[in-house]
Amino acid sequence: MFSLHRLRTGGRTVCEDRKETPRKGRRGLALASTVLTGLAIAISAAPLPAQSFEVEEATIAGVHAAMRSGELTCEGLVRHYLNRIAMYQNRPPRLNAIANVNPHALSEARQLDAVFTEEGPRGPLHCIPVLLKDQVETSDMPTTYGSVLFKDFVPRRDATIVTRLKDAGAIILAKTNMGEFASRYVGSGFGVIRNPYDRTRNPSGSSGGTGVGITVNLGMVGIGEDTGGSIRGPSAVHALVGLRPTLELVSRFGMMPANPTTDTMGPMTRTVTDAALVLDVIAGYDPRDPVTARSVGRIPESYAAGLQPDALSGARIGVIRTPMDRRVGRTMEGFRQVRARVDAAVAEMRGLGAEVIDLFTIRGIDEVNEIFNLNSFETEEATNAYLAEHRNAPYQTLAAILLTGQVNPWRARGLADLLGKTTRDPGYLEYLLARDRMRVTVLKTMADLDLDALVYATFDHPPTEIAADVEQNPQPRDRYGLGDNRLISPLTGFPAITVPAGFTPDGLPVGIEFMGRPFTEAMLLGFAYAYEQGTNHRRPPRR
């Protein structure tokens, strides 16, 4: 396996040749550059005959049709993506989307080609290259959590979601860069992730690497993790579809936790259909994550099979107009730009047959973000319990991680505030009571108005610029997450899906989010599909 930490040259490392240790500000760049070492291993093999299949904006159905017709092989598809990863890794300023490339990707592709020839597709995701957030365990690649501290950590197990993807025929093509220990868009492991629609702006987080990778077509589908919006944020700002499922629908086993009462995983894709196909594979009960027992009997035979272009016809949709982020002012230019797109989206939904009810506000909706942020009590306990499961982990506690002094300063500051707090503290009860009050308020509003779903902008403001000192300053002035409306879904535990809703005049994507009651993913996917098919707002960034 190739090294994530050092690029080998003539038996020595680059750092040894320079006779210095990389400074903190350069560590991410040093580690990111070694991805190319893995690419060299993955790509090296006898060349294939030319295959004309175009991977940009390709879909699962399109790939499988090309394979059935003989136009494409699995090995050819994987080579296409590996070549694109290499191209983007060399293009400054680096997007830093990829943390680690699977050095076995081509050999796995050849095996799948043999299976296809002899037996047909292995499963519904046969040879689909997946970009996996590096918060999720893989037994054949490092799992770094975006941190230099775990650069060589290879778990001795696969996460349940990884096992299910592989059993369905998918290839874990690469692990993606993430905000260190699941927050923001920068870490000590691989540096700053950049938004390809405007590389001076942040890509949202913390699944930023997956969002960037999927929108520039470095993989076909992605998996993100969402504690407080980390699937939907990067999806919204990259013109992607991102689904946060009901908390108990998808197993979290094999994922480093943040707040277990809101942690979940889900698909990040370029189309709603591909998101539904991925959900078909990853949803369901896992005894190693007992909360998923609640999903039994609540999962349709297929999320993908039920998608209909007229799903919005007759649907009752409530539009939330009130910003949930109190930092947003209605006179801000960014707010006005996003609001124009929301107004247009509402008109588009009406044109597609939906009955749209303007709520303007829900009682207490402007307190959602504050309530969510009351929960500082779960992280240390959950992190320590998780690390205790891994005897080969380089650190066994959150405190030990922070004592190294190597975590990104902003993230270290935030994590330090969580030390010493437990779910037995009285403040945790206050959080739970406030959360439940908001959950009842939302359900009552939907019941009183006979609503099928709520709709709101994922962000009420475009992504802000990356601060120049974001790798050194514990308090960078980048207004990260300005306009954030994502927290209502994890706070209530309800599923939500963001879908492209157009662009600002500056060419920045705007995402609009559908949220429903628990286990209404099939309905939400249907609404998103009808909106997607009726508007076709998805547009990749320019090269």
Q: Annotated catalytic sites, by residue?
A: 133, 206, 230
Point out which residues pair with 356 in neighbouring strands. 317
Alpha-carbon span 90 to 33, nearest angstrom: 9
Find the angle CA(62)-CA(515)-CA(487) to the nearest 5 degrees. Answer: 110
Say how many C-beta atoms besides its own lie within 10 A of residue 198's C-beta. 18
- What Cα–Cα distance (Å) separates residue 541 from each residue in 89, 196, 376, 429, 534? 16, 6, 37, 45, 21
Query: Is the alpha carbon torsion for 53, 55, 59, 63 positive or negative?
Result: positive
Contact between 192 and 199 (Cβ < 8 Å):
no
Which amino acid is it at 309?
Answer: P
Tracing tokens 């999320």 back to the chain, one arrives at: 303
| Burial state string for 397-433 with b = 16 or more CB within 10 A and e = fewer than 16 | ebeebbeeebbbbbbbebbeebeebebeeeebeebee
Task: Kindly tell me the burial class for residue 469, based on how many C-beta atoms sit within 10 Å of its own C-beta (0-12, 13-18, 19 or more).
Answer: middle
Q: Apex CA 4: angle with CA 3 and CA 10, to 5°?
A: 45
What's the chain's Rg over C-alpha atoms?
22
